[in-house]
Amino acid sequence: MANPFDKRATEFLSDDGAFLSVVAPDPITSSFASAGQKGTLYDRLVRIIGTPGSGKTTLARVFALKTVGALLRNPNAYKEITAALTATAVLENRQLRIAGCRLPMESEYRDFWELPYAEHVRLGLMENLIQARAVLGWLRGLEALGIPEDVITVQHRSLSNAALEAIGGETGTGLRKRAEKIEKAVYGVSAALVPPPLEELPEDATLPYHPFNVLSMLRAVTEEGELSLKPLVILDDTHALHPRQFNHLMTWLSRREIPIARWMMTRLDALDAQDVLFSQEDQGSFANLEPGRDYENIWLQGEPGNYGEKAYKTRFCRMARTMANRYLQLMPVMERRKLVDFERLLSNDPKNLPEGKCAELREEVKKRQFDLDLPQNIYSDLARSVNDYLRKSKSFDKGTDLELQMLLILMERFVRRIPQRDLFTSVEEEEPEASEDLTKRLNVNSALADGARVHLMHRFGRPYYYGISGVCGASGHNAQQFLRLSRPLVDLAETRAVRQKGDKPVLLTAADQDKRLIEQAKALIEEWSFPEVEGVRNLVRGIGAWCVSRTLEENAPLGGGATGVGVPQVEFERMARKRSRLAQVLHFAVAYNAVEISQRRLVKHKEWTTIELGGAVRVAHGLTLLDGGFVEKRVQDLENLIAVEEH
Amino acid sequence: MSGDWILHRGSEVREFCEKYFGQRDRNVALIAGAGFDPRSGVIAEMLATIIPGDLSAIFLRELRPHPESGLQSIATDNAGELARIITQSATRSINVLSEDNAVTAGREAVKAVREEFDGRNVTDVIIDLSALSMGVSLPLLRYFHKLTTTEAPELNLHAMIAHSTELDANISRETSDKVTPIHGYDAEYKLRHDKGETLLWLPQLAPGLRATFERMYEFLDPDEVCPILPFPTRNPRLGDDLLREYLPLIEDAWEVEPGDLVYASEESPLDLYRTLLKVSEERDQVHQKTGGSLVVVSPAGAKLPALGAALAAIRSHVALVYTERLDYELEGQAERYGKDAEPEVIHLWVSGDPYDGGIRSA
């Protein structure tokens, strides 16, 4: 039976109605609301940036005419999306205001760069194909809405008659005929086995054709009245273009005199490696263009260096829940059994370790107290502080096993914090106030509890990755990865639903979830397929091993543990500017969610760049999903990692 | 003869080459890969013993961004050996990918070969696909086919392969993240799909390419999918292994009905060729009045079916879409294919004299 969670994104659903029924409205409002309020969504170039799977294409499809048309046929069925599109001014009183058309910038556009012509000819061919396709896209979209081309007219900027003639005149039919001719001619040039000599280029491919400069509105008189739409072109996947083509698009579409709305969607790796590796404030201005003034940037996962933003994570979890619930509704078995609340399928109780293991831990605590020469009064203080913390904690997870492991870590921390003793002085003989003071200073908090949980996972296989927050964290807050990681959980829940008789609720234990999430995370890494993939695998494998080693130190020095490495800022900048192999590997590692980079973190009075492992990599290595610390390293250490060749 | 094609295999190939290429009026040019593939010298060696005087060659060396050092040195040795075997030869380097990882293989190959052929008097061109990647060999096949059916009807085009499925299985690949039509096999699929032609996608399944096929699916957004499984195969479990690997995609994401699986022999190019032509023709009839039909094939894995797909694309309106290989790795048997995996040489006369000036293309 088909599992919709196996589809990579909602863009796979070819039916617009089905598509609308699974799209979560949150990303539309959260990503576009700010630009919408500022009024910059449709009056200048908007650049929408995200990693693969962050939902760029899904967003682009929501704004396309064909999808909005399906929505308008039954707006009550998709109230939330209708509200989101109203908030972004696509709709006004359920009347369409924006005519959106999505153009994927596939390899054929990049192919223009390989043609044996002068740069301006190659760029001109690309511009012509984009404009012709956009015009055809708008007309086809309107046709899907039941508005034939012969009732469409053009509102244009008062340019010369020649410019208007060049785009096919003022009617929809004229526009379509001209655009089809241009498309066919330009397409023929880019797809030719042997490109024609410059002088033999078809006239239609090279003549001036500037509908983006001329068109300001598309008008149609329908039975419901007059419709006046602002054309919007959404150039998707612009990362596939040559960097010079990409830069040209930026410069061309940033021109303020262009009356149509235009968006460029791109993956992080289309930007210069320095754009990816440095946060926006560290970047210079782009081709003399100023973000905010000449174009608007919308970062779907937060700006580089700011991925960890708590508000984004909260928003993501809300959106992921909605998305998962909508996907569950597409599964007949789950729908029939009313098992359409993803969160309620996942237990949040990791269960205490069996009594035998707890006894083992108790023994270890006793032995360690003896080995560390820890006086009973201090031991009691430490035990009491752990007990007090857990008693007040709102977490489901506060069993004896956790308490004992926290105590073990705390004892180690206590011993490491007191000054080195001479051979003949025991802790009891030291100033009593000093010891008490130390006990207070040893923070018993959620980070300590998280560290204890991670230790228990590695030592006894106690579940750590479970619950909706576990799945969201494991996904690195990426929609596509969230769906992929959820798939085996949903499969299991579906099987239980089929096998379980009666109305008994289906609940996956924390152990079930943990096992499947780890397996799936490893499978996702195994399936990685992108440039420099081996370098990225070696890099994360090495960083993962360092983090595990640091995390499992007896005193859990970084609380929940390490989740990445930190290198001195100065060294990192030098490396990134050199455009070394490491810079290249990091570029793709960031672009494909393998790592996240934060710049200029001030720790121990020094500036660091941290390279933190992505969600799936953390799960595969058994690392914390909460904010972790980092292992101090040098750039050379990272370069050594990627130099390892697999045999 | 094999149906409407002249095909030889095994010992028949040598016999044919001696009789045909050995004739005095034959002036033969070989185009082959000078890479790490242990098969790169098999056909050159055979031809050099049969027609030592009238044989010239263009060897193409495919350059990729981060080649494995061991394979690079094998490729250098092989290129030297090939130049020794055929003295009237030139070696040209081809950038398979540009600096930004865009696929340039096909264009570069056609450009290099055109430059090398300029002014040559040749009666027969042999493209040796054994050590060339699809992105290079298939555009050359298309280019010469077009030449033989337009400007140079007197030219004969042959395709030869030293075929070894065992060796193919030992070569692992890292693929690009960019899906693109094979240069020359575009068939205007984009224009046709935009205009509403129903797109049927036939991915030729091969081990370890799940992420690649997912990307292709997303790129093509097909209306229907019919995966191609190898059968018959030398490894009888290959079909089952592939089904196990791809079942989640086949069943869930692509929603393929059991009857929609296509089987194609990995030992012959003509099996898949005939299937594709049949599928294409039948769909054309069915979809004639409903906007038209568009067939897109993604060759991967074994080379003989890929050649079959290319022949079908030349003959019909079939488009070929693929992802280029970024890197290769040869597992074991790095120097030679081993006694049990001795390649079988296959020859296919693609166009020229016996076809009355070339096969008819769409």
- The tokens of A442 are what? 């040893």
Strands across the sheet with A595-603, in order? Answer: A595-603, A606-613, A562-568, A629-632
**Is the CB of residue A530 less than 8 Å away from at least one CB of chain B?**
yes
Q: Where are the domains of chain B?
A: 6-164+343-355, 172-330
Q: How far apart are CA A238 and CA A52, in angstroms?
A: 13
Average pLDDT over residues A284-296: 70
What would the two tokens of residue A171 be? 């009617």
Say which amino acid occupies A102. Answer: R
Q: What number of residues does chain A have? A: 647
pLDDT at residue B139 in the model: 97
**Distances A255 to A249, A258, A260 between C-alpha atoms, Å:** 10, 6, 11
Mean pLDDT (whole number) for A367-375: 90
The phi and psi torsions of A121 (rounded to 5 degrees) equal -70, -45
Cis peptide bond N-terminal to B232, omega within 30: yes
Chain A residue numbers touching B139 (CB-CB < 8 A)? 193
Kindly determine whether residue B183 and residue A193, on different chains, have CB atoms separated by under 8 Å: yes
CA nearest to B228, candidates B264, B258, B192, B200: B264
For A314-364, the pLDDT digits (tens) are 888 888 998 899 889 888 889 888 899 999 999 998 888 999 999 999 999
B6-164+343-355 matches B172-330 in fold:
yes
Give phi and psi for A42, each to the nearest 5. Answer: -120, 5
Residue B307 DSSP SS3: helix
pLDDT in tens, chain B (362 residues): 445 789 999 999 999 999 999 888 899 999 999 988 888 899 999 999 998 777 999 999 999 877 777 888 888 998 999 999 999 999 999 999 988 888 999 999 999 999 998 777 899 999 999 999 999 999 999 999 999 988 899 999 999 999 887 777 767 667 787 899 999 999 899 899 988 899 999 999 999 888 889 889 988 989 999 999 999 988 889 999 999 999 988 988 888 998 999 999 999 999 999 999 999 999 999 998 888 999 999 999 889 999 999 999 999 989 999 999 877 776 665 455 555 567 899 999 999 988 864 443 43
Amino acid (1-letter code) at residue A138: W
CA dist A223 and A226 (Å) reads 8
pTM: predicted TM-score of the whole model, two decimal places: 0.84
Residue A8 predicted with pLDDT over 60: no
Q: Residue A277: its pLDDT value, please?
A: 52
The stretch A562-591 carries a mean pLDDT of: 88
Q: How far apart are the first and last CA of chain A?
A: 39
Q: Is A243 on the interface with B (CB under 8 A)?
A: yes
- A242 and B114 within 8 Å at the Cβ level: the answer is no
Look-up: residue for tokens 């059994």? Answer: A337
Confidence of residue A282 (pLDDT cuts 50, 70, 90): very low
Q: How far apart are CA B30 and CA B47, in angstroms?
A: 9
Q: Which residues contact B209 (CB under 8 A, 6 or more apart)?
A: B175, B300, B301
Q: Could you tell me which residues come within 8 angstroms of residue A237 by beta carbon, excluding any fewer than 6 positions away?
A: A57, A104, A105, A106, A265, A266, A267
Host H or E run for residue B289: none
Q: Which pLDDT score is estimated for A12?
A: 52
Chain B residues within 8 A of A187 when measuring between CB atoms? 188, 190-191
Instruction: Return the closest-CA partner of residue B102 out of A592, A107, A267.
Output: A107
User: How big is the CA angle at B204 (ends B199 and B206), to the nearest 5 degrees?
Assistant: 145
Closest CA to A637 of A576, A566, A573, A589: A566
Share of chain A above pLDDT 70, in %: 89
Question: What are the tens digits of pLDDT across the range A147-182?
Answer: 999 999 998 876 678 888 899 999 999 999 999 999
- Nearest CB to B326 within list A8, A113, A531: A531
Residues of B in Cβ contact (< 8 Å) with A534: 174, 327
Is domain B172-330 given the CATH code 3.40.50 in the classification? yes
Q: How far is residue A322 CA from its own chain's centroid?
A: 17
pLDDT (0 to 100) of residue A77: 87
Non-local CB neighbours of A620 within 8 Å, separated by 6+ positions? A518, A521, A522, A525, A544
- In whole angstroms, what is the distance from residue B141 CA to residue B121 CA? 19
Residue of B117, B118, B186, B197 to mutate for A, most A C-beta atoms under 10 A: B186
Interchain pair A243, B100: CB under 8 A: yes
**Lowest-confidence pick of A123-137, A434-448, B289-303:** A434-448
* Closest residue by Cα to residue A277 from A479, A542, A579: A579
Cα angle for residues A503, A395, A342 (degrees, 5° grid) = 35
A268, A49 contact by CB (below 8 A): yes
Residue B10 contacts by C-beta under 8 Å, 6 or more apart in sequence?
A: B344, B345
CA atoms within 13 A on the CB side of A24: 21
Which CATH class name applies to B6-164+343-355? alpha beta
Asked if the C-beta of A422 comes within 8 angstroms of chain B's C-beta atoms, the answer is: no
Residues 6+ apart with CB under 8 A from A292: none
Chain B nearest C-alpha distance from A530 (Å): 5
In the structure, what pLDDT confidence band is assigned to residue A630 with cuts at 50, 70 and 90?
very high
Q: Is A371 on the interface with B (CB under 8 A)?
A: no
A458 pLDDT above the threshold of 90: yes
B326: chain A residues, CB-CB within 8 Å: 531
Shortest alpha-carbon distance between residue A460 and chain B (Å): 32
Residues contacting A117, CB < 8 A, separation 6+: A125, A195, A198, A201
Tokens of B332: 């074991």
Contact B143 A108 (CB under 8 A): no
Predicted pLDDT of residue A143 = 93
Q: CB A289: neighbour CB atoms within 10 A? A: 15
> Which ipTM score applies to this complex?
0.88
| Nearest-neighbour CA in chain B from A527: distance (Å) | 6
Q: Tell me what pLDDT residue A23 has.
A: 83
Ranges of H-type helices in A254-375: 273-277, 310-329, 332-336, 342-345, 355-371
**Length of chain B in residues, anyone?**
362
**Minimal C-alpha gap between B14 and chain A (Å):** 33
Please compute the mean of the pLDDT values over residues A128-138 and round it to a whole number: 97
The mean per-residue pLDDT over the stretch A267-289 comes to 53
Chain A contact set for B248 (CB, 8 A): 3, 6
Does A546 have pLDDT greater than 70? yes
Cβ contact, residue pair A114, B114, below 8 Å: no
pLDDT at B337: 52
Q: How far apart are CA A61 and CA A81, in angstroms?
A: 12
Tens-place pLDDT, residues A77-95 = 888 899 999 989 899 888 8
Of the candidates B191, B211, B326, the beta carbon closest to that of A187 is on B191
Count of other CB atoms within 10 angstroms of residue A434 = 11
A250-261: average pLDDT: 93
Closest partner residue to B211 (CB to CB) among A107, A194, A527 is A527
Coil, strand, or helix at residue A558? coil
Identify the closest residue of chain B to A105 by CA–CA distance: B219
Half-sphere exposure of A176 (CA within 13 A, CB side): 18
Q: B-chain residues within 8 Å CB-CB of A6?
A: 248-249, 252-253
What is the C-alpha separation between A223 and A96, in angstroms, rounded? 14
CA-to-CA distance for A273 and A282, rounded, in angstroms? Answer: 13
Residue with tokens 């008659």: A161
Burial class (CB in 10 A: 0-12, 13-18, 19+), A153: middle
Say if CB A234 and CB A63 are below 8 A apart.
yes
C-beta of residue B298 within 8 angstroms of C-beta of residue B322: yes
Q: Which of A193, A300, A54, A294 is nearest to B145 (CA)?
A: A193
- Distance between CA A459 and CA A551 in Å, rounded? 12
Those residues with Cβ within 8 angstroms of residue A563's Cβ, 6 or more apart along the chain or in another chain:
A547, A612, A613, A618, A623, A624, A627, A628, A629, A630
Structure tokens at B219: 């790129």
DSSP secondary structure code for residue B178 in this structure = E
Q: What is the pLDDT of residues A186-196, one digit of tens each?
A: 999 999 999 99
Q: How far apart are CA A190 and CA A205, in angstroms?
A: 10
pLDDT of residue A284: 40
pLDDT of residue B360: 39
> Using only C-alpha atoms, what is the Rg of chain A?
29
A6–chain B Cβ distance below 8 A for any pair? yes
Question: Best interface-test mutation with A: which of B95, B107, B172, B314 has the largest number of A CBs within 10 A?
Answer: B107
Task: Return the axis-axis angle of helices A446-460 and A376-392, rounded to nearest 10°.
Answer: 100
A531 pLDDT above the threshold of 90: no
| Nearest chain A Cα distance for residue B211, angstroms | 6
**Mutation test of the interface with chain B: which of A3, A16, A114, A189, choosing the one with the most B Cβ atoms within 10 A?**
A114
Among positive and negative, which fits the CA dihedral B221, B223, B229, B231? Answer: negative
Contact call for A193 and B114, based on CB within 8 A: no
Residue A224, C-beta contacts closer than 8 angstroms, at least 6 positions apart? none
8 A C-beta contact, residue A72 and residue A96: yes
DSSP bridge partners of B304: none
